[in-house]
Structure 1
Amino acid sequence: MSFSICLLQTIAFLDLLAVGLIVPLVPGHVRKMGANHIYVGLLGSIYAGFQLGSGPLIGSLSDLKGRKAILMMTLLICALAYTIIELTPSIAMILVIRAVLGLFKQTQMLTKALVPDYEKNEQKQSGIYGKMAAISGAGITLGPVIGGHIAEDNPENGFTFIAVVVGFCFIFNAGLAYFLPKTSSKKRSKGKSSKNTAPSKNIIHSFIGNIKQSVIELYKVKWSEYWDIFLFKALIGFAMGVYYSNYSLYLKTQYQLTPKYVGYVISFQGVIGSISSFFIGYINNFYTHDIDYSLRNFHVFVLLSVSLSGLIVSYNVFTYIIWLVPLAIGNAIGRLVTLEMILKRSHGDHRGTLIGASNSVRSLSGVIAPMVAGFIGEYFGVAYVIYASFCSTILGLALSYQYRYKQLKID
């Protein structure tokens, strides 16, 4: 494995470790400042909403200006934003900062887009994506545990200390990104090159010009060629979003678990997902003839549908945990399969744009799923929320079977 790939994996790990340290503590910090539950809910919705539009925009900007440069820029902005969260006494300012983070927190997308720049072998890329997901998954699993212990042991200054550490992590990540080899940005026509390379009158004009170029780049992508992959991504994202929106409450009401044991169950599922991602390269060895990933995509929806049906009929917490294993495996592999389907169809020029759009689909699910889960929980009961996830995977199962059958006929 090359030095560049190791750097990307380290950046991905530290990114989610830092996020895991501070994000679970932000709602409690805002509540201490006097915010109500509406503001706490807005923290997540604002972030997901801005992620929805920023994914393709940052992706296309990275295609134009170079992924390494954009990665460093976004990391430094995130370092500043997370540090300011602790310093500001204003709840409104924290909401603004969450919007800024929603715009620029695209580290995972950019590191994935950089992989093909340093590893040209498509078969090896699959294994790298799996290991990267596993390593970053370990970060998001460890972060909340470490952050929770620090905040509990230091109730007065714990959040301040964590905010400083998180800011340092992002600055350190930007330093690691600096040592990545240069990647070529998209070539422009000669007619435009003189205009684009001329010194801008000011930073604002330069920024606006880059945004315009990014928007133009979005129009160049043939989106109709990717709608089915984005649909599969949306169905998985919605199913898991609804499920996780109600996860802790479901375990508390159905099985009377305390928060400590709920945390253990969450960590267990995270570990299973990380292990599955790590071994994605070995799993792909069983699908050597599945060139278009249609069979793997179908099997993912089979696994998710079966595991959710098992969770619905579980009669105690032990059978529930057993059914979590295939759910975690299906969710982890499903994210990677849809990513590989996009990369397989793309031709490199719009790779950042497409991966950004894929992340935006997930963000859209992150905006809609909590509202659907809340509506069902309010009017039908907490136990019925999981049925929305099950319906989403059943629809995905039918569509993925149709897609697989269509590909077989073409072959």
Structure 2
Amino acid sequence: MFDYFYVYMIGFLDIASLGLIMPALGRRLREFGASHFQVSSLESLFSGLQMITSPIAGTLSDRYGRKQMLTLSMIISAMGFFAIGHCYTYISVAIIRLIFGFLKHTLMLGRSLLGDHIPKEHLINAHGKMNSFVSLAFMIAPVIGGRLSEQPNGFFSIACLTSLLCVFNVAIIVLFVPNKKIKTNSIQKGMLNNFKELNWSLYWPLLIMRFMYMATISTIMTTLGLVLTETYKLSPSQVGYVISFNSSIGVVTGFFVSKLATIFKSYSTFNKCFYSFLLLSFGHFCFSFQPNLMYYLLFTIPVSVGGTLIEVFLNQLLSEHCNDNNRGSLEGAMYSFSAIARFITPMTVGVSMDKFGARGAYLFASTAALCGAILAKFYDNKKVIKKIHNS
């Protein structure tokens, strides 16, 4: 478990920093007089920039190394989060957030390290543990952030603590990440040629499934705080506890995903994605009819389990079917499709909630997950593997 502990810690600290500050950032912007539209538009712009820059960052990491790109990303993060604590206008926060959209790609690059250094037969176990550490960060950080936000000058304290976590991450990257040279024949070629050399038609099922998965996850991220505060009248610290409960399910699932994969070893990875998408769709469908908070918490179980399994299986598919010299480009493409979903989903969810309430948003997410299940079920896994190995 601890052979590649530095990879897990990079993911943990990165998500912990986001889990601390992101729940409080929307409230902070509202204090500056920003409308709900301005807050959601800022997140959409951030995702739009991620959509454009993720493939570029991935390709640069193929050419120049993951360590260099990770270090740059975390240094920018540390300075940016500290600066946000000193911002007192919507515009100043928006500028820093958009800079993050260009330059912050820590989790994507961290997942690329798994494929670089871990044997393929151990990848599913490693991805499961990575997801567990990410979920653990979401379990701990929102509780701390919720408590701090209720204190005097709480947002400034959150911003400073977030920046400190990024500094710790820089130290881990510099001290422990190997400076592996990526072997590629296209090192002298332009970046666009790196993309042209990839046969994107082979990977479109993975990209579309990533899009559908992220649409469902973005829905729960967009609606969770609103539903808990407006429907169930919870305080910020209580919202943190609910997020912690949700994340704890992901922690347990991530640590046991390799055992689950062994039980269903006769199934192809695409079939595993199919059943995971069905579970995710079922959970969101149930969300649309929850009568009280207890049922809401109950239905987070299939959502968390299904979401964790899909994340692991999609990363397993990508890691097993790409080479060292194009892993960063493909990871970037996957995260670019995630960014497209994060760009579209908040607006779609907003319209759905205006017309149909939270039920409309959750039915949208259930439909997206069902579409992912259909694609996973009917795509020829053996055919795509054969094509990839022959390409």
* 1:187 Cα deviation from its structure 2 partner: 3.8
The corresponding residue for 2:249 is 272
Q: Percent identity?
A: 26
Superposition misfits of 4+ residues, deviation over 6 angstroms? none
Contact 1:276 1:332 (8 Å CA) reproduced: yes
* 1:127 Cα deviation from its structure 2 partner: 0.8
Would the alpha carbon gap of residues 6 and 50 (structure 1) be closer, same or farther in structure 2, given more than 3 Å must change? same
Contact 1:46 1:95 (8 Å CA) reproduced: no
Would the alpha carbon gap of residues 213 and 257 (structure 1) be closer, same or farther in structure 2, given more than 3 Å must change? same
**1:108-145 Cα deviation digits (max 9, x unpaired):** 111110113222x2121211111111112211221121
The corresponding residue for 1:64 is 63
- Cα distance between partner residues in 2 of 1:406 and 1:187: 27
Contact 2:182 2:324 (8 Å CA) reproduced: no
One of 146, 161, 168 as aligned partner of 1:148:
146
- Cα distance between partner residues in 1 of 2:80 and 2:238: 33
Would the alpha carbon gap of residues 87 and 181 (structure 1) be closer, same or farther in structure 2, given more than 3 Å must change? same
Contact 2:138 2:244 (8 Å CA) reproduced: no
- Cα distance between partner residues in 1 of 2:102 and 2:159: 19
**1:339-375 Cα deviation digits (max 9, x unpaired):** 1111222122211111121112111111111111111
SS of residue matched to 2:325: coil
The corresponding residue for 1:174 is 170
- Cα distance between partner residues in 2 of 1:263 and 1:168: 21
Contact 1:250 1:383 (8 Å CA) reproduced: no
One of 289, 298, 303 as aligned partner of 2:274:
298
The corresponding residue for 2:26 is 27
The corresponding residue for 1:232 is 209
Contact 2:142 2:243 (8 Å CA) reproduced: no
Aligned residue-pair number? 384
| Amino acid corresponding to residue 160 of structure 1 in structure 2 | F
* 1:221 Cα deviation from its structure 2 partner: 1.7
The corresponding residue for 1:247 is 224
TM-score, normalising length: structure 2:
0.89
Q: Does residue 336 of structure 1 match 2:334?
A: no
Contact 2:109 2:328 (8 Å CA) reproduced: yes
One of 321, 332, 341 as aligned partner of 1:356:
332
* 1:183 Cα deviation from its structure 2 partner: 0.5
Contact 1:42 1:95 (8 Å CA) reproduced: no
TM-score, normalising length: structure 1:
0.85
Q: Does residue 183 of structure 1 match 2:185?
A: no
The corresponding residue for 2:261 is 284
Contact 1:66 1:183 (8 Å CA) reproduced: yes
The corresponding residue for 2:130 is 132
SS of residue matched to 1:87: coil
Superposed counterparts of 1:75-154, under 5 Å: 75-119=74-118, 121-153=119-151
| Amino acid corresponding to residue 147 of structure 1 in structure 2 | G
Would the alpha carbon gap of residues 331 and 217 (structure 1) be closer, same or farther in structure 2, given more than 3 Å must change? same
The corresponding residue for 1:382 is 358
Contact 1:57 1:215 (8 Å CA) reproduced: no
The corresponding residue for 1:223 is 200
Structure 1 residue runs without a partner (length 5+):
193-211
Contact 1:64 1:214 (8 Å CA) reproduced: no
Moved more, 380-389 or 128-137: 380-389
One of 160, 165, 179 as aligned partner of 2:156:
160
**1:80-117 Cα deviation digits (max 9, x unpaired):** 11112123444323212111111222111111101132
The corresponding residue for 1:198 is none
- Compute the RMSD of aligned alpha carbons: 2.6
* 1:379 Cα deviation from its structure 2 partner: 2.2
SS of residue matched to 2:179: coil
The corresponding residue for 2:389 is none
Q: Does residue 372 of structure 1 match 2:348?
A: yes
| Amino acid corresponding to residue 349 of structure 1 in structure 2 | N
One of 369, 373, 379 as aligned partner of 1:403:
379
